[in-house]
Amino acid sequence: MKRLLVLAAAATALFANAQTYPGSKPVSIVVPFAAGGPTDRVARDLAEAMRKHIPGSNFVVENVNGAGGTIGATKVAKASPDGHTLLLHHIGMAAAPGLYRKLQYKPLEDFEYLGMINEVPMTLVGKPQLPANTYRDFENYIRANAGKLNIAHAGLGSASHLCGLMWQAAIKSTEAMTTIPFGGTAPAMNALVGGQVDMMCDQTTNTTGQIEAGRIKAFAVTTAKPLSSNKVLKDLPTLQEMGLKGFDLTIWHGLYAPKGTPPAVLAQLNTAMKAALKDPDFIKKQEGLGAVVVTDKRVDPAAHKTFVANEIAKLKPVIDAAKQFAD
Ligand code: MLT
């Protein structure tokens, strides 16, 4: 009898939680990188679209940067599973386990997966003073100055860090470039525009505007196919066209909640997220910056989690080969 009463109380609490969720308390979407960067861009666009689909909701973005996104991810892994703290992260969710020896969360066990949001191409970009205007000149310059140049990124395990690793491995540079970490590629971009760093591999959501304004140089895109529908990026060659066989990298973004968040709350969030991904304004904003909004089954939690598990396995050899680990 007592067990029945306990079960009934739990069910009532769950139902009540879902009925009152989110209530007047804000829903914080933690972005594990600095404000103004690519991850932040996705989060702010998604928050605006999701607000429309959960009446009375107040989705706010909270930037918690550092250590390639692991500080923000740790915060959410340890947050109360009440649906008021979410994580918007990317490929770094799959890179961290291979890079951080003392990672304070397990990506596949400490989160509820809410679904994938988009996939964003990357661009190889350089400071305005770089003495190169084509990808071929750029790669020759990097080779001729092996060990003397630097590359900016958003911390070990960030998308920009991973792209830099993969690209340097692909061109078989004789010496690794000096890496300059930032709290995100927004501050890194400021340094690139100012000529304080030599180059970066960054998402089109952050580089398109700078390229169009002529504030940085652009040399190639990381996707298998050219971005022919994007007026700013359409003439950039792919790295495959430049001889780097099989180079194909896009940065996926997903939404996560702490493990143990009530299923009814997760279902509400996933429904609102899916509606946001179909929102014309959201799609227009994302596509204008070269991003592709996910429309396949990865918008569902189970497929999203399977995809990330596969990405962890896929990235491990890349990370092991680079021999760059952190505690
Ligand atoms: C990355 O390189 O992981 C992202 O560009 C970080 C960011 O959103 O600033």
Report residues whose beta carbon is within 6 angstroms of any ligand 1 atom.
Answer: 33-34, 37-40, 92, 153-154, 158-160, 184-186, 202-203
Q: Which domain holds residue 159?
A: 121-249
**Chosen domain end from 249, 265, 299:** 249
φ, ψ dihedrals at 48, nearest 5°:
-60, -40
Residue 17 has pLDDT above 60, yes or no: no
Are 130 and 222 in a shared domain?
yes
Atom of ligand 1 at shortest distance to CA of 36?
Answer: 9
- Total length of the chain: 327
Exposed / middle / buried, residue 4 (Cβ in 10 Å: 0-12, 13-18, 19+): exposed
Are 105 and 176 in a shared domain?
no
Between 317 and 60, whose confidence is greater? 60
Are 135 and 237 in a shared domain?
yes
> Across all residues in the chain, what is the average pLDDT?
93
> Which amino acid residue places its CA nearest to atom 6 of ligand 1?
184
Give the per-residue pLDDT at 13: 55
Are 280 and 204 in a shared domain?
no
**Ligand 1: centre distance to CA 34 (Å):** 8
What are the CA-CA distances from residue 162 to residues 169, 229, 253, 319 (Å)?
11, 26, 15, 8
**Ligand 1: centre distance to CA 186 (Å):** 8
Atom of ligand 1 at shortest distance to CA of 34?
Answer: 9
Give the per-residue pLDDT at 166: 93
Share of the chain above pLDDT 70, in %: 95
pTM (2 decimals)?
0.92
Give the per-residue pLDDT at 55: 81
Are 21 and 88 in a shared domain?
yes
Tell me which residue of 252, 254, 236 sits closest to 291, measured CA to CA.
252
* 294 occurs within a structural domain: yes
139-168: burial string, b at 16+ Cβ within 10 Å, e else = bebbeeeeeebebbbbbbbbbbbbbbbbbb
**Ligand 1: centre distance to CA 290 (Å):** 15
**Ligand 1: centre distance to CA 38 (Å):** 6
Atom of ligand 1 at shortest distance to CA of 38?
Answer: 8
Residue 23 has pLDDT above 90, yes or no: no
pLDDT digits (tens, 9 = 90+) for 275-306: 999 999 999 999 988 999 999 999 999 999 99
**Ligand 1: centre distance to CA 46 (Å):** 16
> Which amino acid residue places its CA nearest to atom 9 of ligand 1?
184
Of 19-23, 118-122, 214-218, 244-248, where does mean pLDDT reach its minimum? Answer: 19-23
**Ligand 1: centre distance to CA 286 (Å):** 16
Count the domains in the chain. Answer: 2
* 4 occurs within a structural domain: no
**Ligand 1: centre distance to CA 11 (Å):** 40
Contact (Cβ atoms closer than 8 angstroms) between residue 264 and residue 81: no
d(CA 244, CA 221): 12
Are 186 and 114 in a shared domain?
no
Q: Write the single-letter amino acid at 116.
A: M
DSSP secondary structure, 88-144, as one string: EEETHHHHHHHHBTT-SS-TTTSEEEEEEEEEEEEEEEE-TT-S-SSHHHHHHHHHH
Mutate to test the pocket of ligand 1, among 29, 30, 31, 39 (most ligand atoms within 8 A of CB): 39
318: how many CB neighbours lie within 10 A of its CB? Answer: 14
Tell me the CA end-to-end span of the chain in Å, nearest whole number: 50
- Give the residues across from 115 on adjacent strands: 255
pLDDT digits (tens, 9 = 90+) for 80-101: 999 999 999 999 999 999 899 8
Atom of ligand 1 at shortest distance to CA of 183?
Answer: 9
Sequence-separated (6 or more) residues with CB below 8 Å from residue 36: 184, 186
pLDDT digits (tens, 9 = 90+) for 129-160: 999 999 999 999 999 998 899 999 999 999 99
197: how many CB neighbours lie within 10 A of its CB? Answer: 23
**Ligand 1: centre distance to CA 313 (Å):** 21
> Which amino acid residue places its CA nearest to atom 8 of ligand 1?
39
**Chosen domain end from 249, 274, 293:** 249
Confidence grade of residue 9 (pLDDT, cut at 50, 70, 90) = low
- CATH number at 206 reads 3.40.190.10
- CATH number at 284 reads 3.40.190.150
DSSP secondary structure, 272-320, as one string: HHHHHHT-HHHHHHHHHTT-EE--SGGGSHHHHHHHHHHHHHHHHHHHH
Pairing of strands 292-293, 85-90: unpaired
Are 80 and 142 in a shared domain?
no
Tokens 């690793």, located at residue: 165
pLDDT digits (tens, 9 = 90+) for 191-233: 999 999 999 999 999 999 999 999 999 999 999 999 999 999 9
* 2 occurs within a structural domain: no
* 23 occurs within a structural domain: yes
Are 128 and 233 in a shared domain?
yes
Are 144 and 238 in a shared domain?
yes
303: how many CB neighbours lie within 10 A of its CB? Answer: 16
**Ligand 1: centre distance to CA 32 (Å):** 9
Mutate to test the pocket of ligand 1, among 42, 89, 160, 162 (most ligand atoms within 8 A of CB): 160
Share of the chain above pLDDT 90, in %: 83
